[in-house]
């Protein structure tokens, strides 16, 4: 059975793309069949795995220029399938805006290929626009990366949770929150620990948080410019090790 999981947080730079790529690569190491979908016009996930300026993108499939099968790029080196995005995806929000069932475009595109994969991971842009809503509607579960910094404890998480519960009620009743990941944890500062405590208290349900916390790790920041997941670029780094742990938690959580 396929698990479709979306990485969402309207704040940028919190580790959505890094988490999607490295959880995906770690699940693939554990012999899971994984499809990564770049659903951000910035195309960071695509370039992180070495796909640049491709014309066979998620947008070209949404626009009917290519079939969904044609836009799936196999990357045997990482044991991953990837659908890339480029800046033209930003046009999709506008083009979809006044169409019927505009929240379901991605879901309808993925339905026919779902059963081929154990996991389909969708990386969203830093917004709550129609692209992100399409990503959430297409998914069974959502993972929310949160950076361990002061702003994480402010209102934007509440806004995100409210948006998720509205989408769940109106558009996708089976949706659930798989978990919140704390990212870029710096063990040298007290602030990081305080932020975790504040956010957990504010959210009120400790079981929503993954036990594995992702440290600030230079290998994680370097890996994308080498077009590799950190699990390949620096297989023994703390970043790689933590993302493998996180992938194990993901496997356990989807079983429940
Ligand atoms: P988002 O997709 O939410 O915008 P990214 O995953 O692109 O966030 O991360 C933002 C930046 O921080 C990127 O340059 C990325 O390489 C870097 N980064 C992400 N996670 C870490 C980490 N744990 N340690 C160090 N750098 C990180
Ligand atoms: Mg991103």
Which of the 8 DSSP states describes residue 146? E
Indicate if ligand 1 lies below 6 Å from the C-beta of 21: no
Angle of helix 190-203 versus helix 156-170 axis, rounded to 10: 40
59 in Cβ contact with 85 (< 8 Å):
yes
Indicate if ligand 1 lies below 6 Å from the C-beta of 50: no
Q: Ligand 1: which residue has its CA nearest to atom 6?
A: 15
The residue among 153, 45, 217, 214 whose CA lies nearest residue 57 is 45
Indicate if ligand 1 lies below 6 Å from the C-beta of 217: yes
Q: What is the pLDDT of residue 3?
A: 97
Q: What is the pLDDT of residue 256?
A: 85
116 CA to centre of ligand 2 in angstroms: 25
The residue among 191, 183, 179 whose CA lies nearest residue 217 is 183
Tokens 């997941």 belong to which residue? 229
Q: What is the pLDDT of residue 98?
A: 86
Indicate if ligand 1 lies below 6 Å from the C-beta of 87: no
42 in Cβ contact with 193 (< 8 Å):
no
Tens digit of each residue's pLDDT (9 = 90 or more) over 82-136? 999 999 999 988 888 888 899 999 999 999 999 999 999 999 999 999 999 999 9
Mutate to test the pocket of ligand 1, among 13, 157, 184 (most ligand atoms within 8 A of CB): 13
77 CA to centre of ligand 2 in angstroms: 22
Distance, in Å, from the CA atom of 55 to the CA atom of 65, rounded to the nearest integer, reads 10
Distance, in Å, from the CA atom of 5 to the CA atom of 24, rounded to the nearest integer, reads 10
Ligand in closest contact with the CA of 11: 1
Distance, in Å, from the CA atom of 5 to the CA atom of 176, rounded to the nearest integer, reads 10
239 CA to centre of ligand 2 in angstroms: 17
Q: Ligand 1: which residue has its CA nearest to atom 13?
A: 221
57 in Cβ contact with 86 (< 8 Å):
yes
- What parts of the chain have a pLDDT lower than 70? none
Indicate if ligand 1 lies below 6 Å from the C-beta of 17: yes
Question: Which pTM does this prediction carry?
Answer: 0.98
Indicate if ligand 1 lies below 6 Å from the C-beta of 44: yes
**CATH number given to 3-255:** 3.40.50.300
Q: How far is CA 123 from the centre of its chain?
A: 4
Distance, in Å, from the CA atom of 128 to the CA atom of 142, rounded to the nearest integer, reads 14
Distance, in Å, from the CA atom of 67 to the CA atom of 56, rounded to the nearest integer, reads 9
Tokens 């929000």 belong to which residue? 93
Q: Ligand 1: which residue has its CA nearest to atom 1?
A: 13
């Amino acid at each position: 059975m396929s698990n479709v999981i979306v990485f969402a947080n309207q704040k940028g730079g919190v580790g959505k793309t890094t988490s999607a790529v490295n959880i995906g690569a770690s699940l693939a190491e554990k012999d899971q069949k994984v499809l990564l979908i770049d659903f951000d016009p910035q195309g960071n996930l695509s370039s992180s795995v070495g796909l640049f300026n491709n014309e066979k993108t998620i947008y070209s499939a949404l626009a009917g220029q290519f079939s969904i099968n044609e836009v799936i790029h196999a990357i045997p080196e990482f044991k991953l399938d990837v659908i890339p995005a480029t800046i033209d995806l930003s046009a999709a929000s506008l083009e979809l805006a006044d169409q019927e069932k505009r929240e379901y475009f991605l879901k309808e595109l993925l339905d026919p290929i779902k059963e081929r994969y154990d996991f389909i991971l969708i990386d969203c842009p830093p917004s709550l626009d129609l692209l992100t809503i399409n990503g959430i509607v297409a998914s069974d579960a959502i993972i929310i990366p949160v950076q361990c910094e002061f702003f994480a404890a402010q209102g934007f998480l509440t806004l995100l949770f409210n948006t998720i519960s509205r989408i769940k009620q109106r558009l996708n009743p089976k949706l659930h929150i798989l978990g919140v990941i704390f990212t870029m944890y710096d063990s040298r500062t007290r602030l990081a620990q305080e932020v975790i405590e504040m956010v957990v208290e504010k959210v009120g349900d400790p079981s929503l948080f993954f036990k594995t916390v992702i440290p600030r790790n230079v290998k994680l920041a370097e890996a994308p410019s080498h077009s590799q997941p950190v699990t390949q670029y620096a297989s023994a780094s703390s970043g790689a090790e933590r993302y493998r742990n996180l992938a194990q938690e993901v496997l356990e959580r989807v079983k429940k």
